[in-house]
Structure 1
Amino acid sequence: MLRLHDHRTGRAEEVARGPLRVHVAAGADRALIVADLLRRVAERTGRRPVVVTRAEGVEPSAYGFSDLNLPDFPVAPAPASDTAVFVGPAPGPGLSVVVPDAAPAGDDPLCLRLGVLRVRYREPADLAAAAERARDDLSRWRGLMAEWARSPGRPMDPTYAARGQDALADDLNSPAALATLDRLAEDPDVAPGAKLETFIHLDLLLGLDLVSQIGSA
């Protein structure tokens, strides 16, 4: 079940099942990253297809789409469908993911992406501070994954995988999903191989390229 905060009711509401249209109506880096997170989570909860479009002029401010692990969402008019979700700094005509605008920060696009995910999408964000913390987190997680990859393979841990997925499906609670990674990394009762597979599984939703140091010297 995917739930999103509905500004019209002030509550998190279940998103109707079935195909989903997501339209980034305004904003830049933060709105695009949140739209991509919504796409990934919606697809994982079984919705097909999930189509993301953007208004003319909505694009990353300092990087290319691929630098931020984003598809190049096509430019299109706002959809008229009742099932569409609008993303931007202001509410759209229906169900909206309202993302306060924030200035870009940092010289590493994936630090920016993680910085965005460190803050609930509906809250104001200091991306400079979040991106600075993200640099250390990315380095630590990638180093751990490279270390775990040298251990015997194990299936992913279903408990931690479910916690991360459930957090993201509950109004895109990315800070809680990231906290799940931290708890998993420190859990002595989970084998390294299982930690690796679970990190990979959740990173398919988060889009942080955490496997980048596996196999490096």
Structure 2
Amino acid sequence: MLSIVDDLAGFGPLRMCAHAPSADDPDAADGLTGLRVLLVADVLSRVVELRGRTVLVGWTCPPAASADEAGIRPADAHGTPDEITEALGGPPAVHLTSRTYEGKDGLTLQIGEAVTGGREVRDPDRDPLALRLLLLGHPHHEPADISEEAVDASAAKLANWRKQVAAWADEPSKAMPADFVRDAMAALENGLDTPAVLRLLDELQAAEDVPGGAKFETFAHFDRVLALEIVRDVGRSHTTEVYR
């Protein structure tokens, strides 16, 4: 299990390489596995950056519009592992791959395939970040079977969260609940357990003893890692209905 605190804490930039199959690779599992590799690299870099360390990321695949739509930040370098090493100013300390990585240097984080079974799960009329939320809900090292119905459910969940966060934003700001922050950060730093963080956010949303202002600050803070544009509807017209 990857431990960010023990293995990735340090000084200077952390270099990572995402060995992602391109969308037209016949072995790329419906084109989503490569996207998932890039997504996990994006989340890992955001977690490390929360601790104040700069992260540089290289991709062995070319830029993809699907990655941009899924909220994945652009790579700092593209090319072969050797080209990425040169471009980033040193060898990557972390390699992320859905296949067998034969390199000898650095840590390797294995990413499970994301498969659709031939089903069409992309809809231009649906929020593309719904797919990001759905993938974040699966342990990164396990295979994820993606269906259109599941993506639709994630889109509805994301819309619900945004409406609730917009309502909480109107309440006085409060400190984030310490126990929630502790548990969520432990999940991220000791296994990149995004499903646990999503479950904790669900529990926080339903907690009647936590002020709305504290919920807003907490959702906004952890969206720095989740990158779901949770606060996108803040300031827009919204109803006073309570979403639970």
* 1:51 counterpart SS class: strand
Deviation at 1:125, TM superposition (A): 0.2
Task: Report 1:124-143 matches (<5 A).
Answer: 124-128=143-147, 130-143=150-163
Query: Is 1:115 equivalent to 2:154 in the alignment?
Result: no
1:24-74 deviation per Cα after TM superposition (whole angstroms, max 9, x unaligned) = 11232111111000000111134x2211110144x44x6252x22222112
Match of 2:230 among 192, 210, 217: 210
Match of 2:36 among 30, 34, 40: 30
Distance (Å, rounded) in 1 between the aligned partners of 2:183 and 2:151: 24
Match of 1:55 among 53, 57, 60: 60
In the other structure, the counterpart of 1:68 is 70
Distance (Å, rounded) in 2 between the aligned partners of 1:130 and 1:91: 29
Distance (Å, rounded) in 1 between the aligned partners of 2:8 and 2:155: 37
Equivalent residues of 1:116, 1:130 under 8 A apart? no
Deviation at 1:100, TM superposition (A): 2.3
In the other structure, the counterpart of 2:46 is 40
* 1:211 counterpart SS class: coil
Give the aligned residue type for 1:51: L
Max radius of gyration: which structure? Answer: 2
Deviation at 1:112, TM superposition (A): 0.8
Deviation at 1:171, TM superposition (A): 1.3
Identity, % of aligned pairs?
A: 34
TM-score, normalised on structure 1?
0.85
Deviation at 1:82, TM superposition (A): 6.7
Over 3 Å counting, the alpha-carbon distance change for 1:16 and 1:216 in structure 2 is closer
Distance (Å, rounded) in 2 between the aligned partners of 1:106 and 1:186: 30
Distance (Å, rounded) in 1 between the aligned partners of 2:232 and 2:5: 36
Query: Is 1:77 equivalent to 2:80 in the alignment?
Result: yes
Equivalent residues of 2:174, 2:214 under 8 A apart? yes
Q: Which runs of 4+ in 1 moved over 6 A?
A: none
Give the aligned residue type for 1:44: L
Task: Report 1:48-197 matches (<5 A).
Answer: 48-57=53-62, 59-60=63-64, 63-65=66-68, 67-73=69-75, 74-78=77-81, 79=85, 84-92=93-101, 93=103, 94-103=106-115, 105-107=121-123, 108-128=127-147, 130-197=150-217
Gaps of 5+ in 2: 22-33, 238-244
Gaps of 5+ in 1: 6-11
Over 3 Å counting, the alpha-carbon distance change for 1:33 and 1:56 in structure 2 is closer
Give the aligned residue type for 2:183: R
Query: Is 1:20 equivalent to 2:14 in the alignment?
Result: yes
Equivalent residues of 1:106, 1:132 under 8 A apart? no
Equivalent residues of 1:161, 1:201 under 8 A apart? no
Give the aligned residue type for 1:90: R
CA RMSD after TM alignment: 2.3
Distance (Å, rounded) in 2 between the aligned partners of 1:146 and 1:16: 35
* Alignment: residue pair count: 205
* 2:179 counterpart SS class: helix
Over 3 Å counting, the alpha-carbon distance change for 1:56 and 1:124 in structure 2 is closer
In the other structure, the counterpart of 2:28 is none
Deviation at 1:158, TM superposition (A): 2.2
Deviation at 1:103, TM superposition (A): 4.2
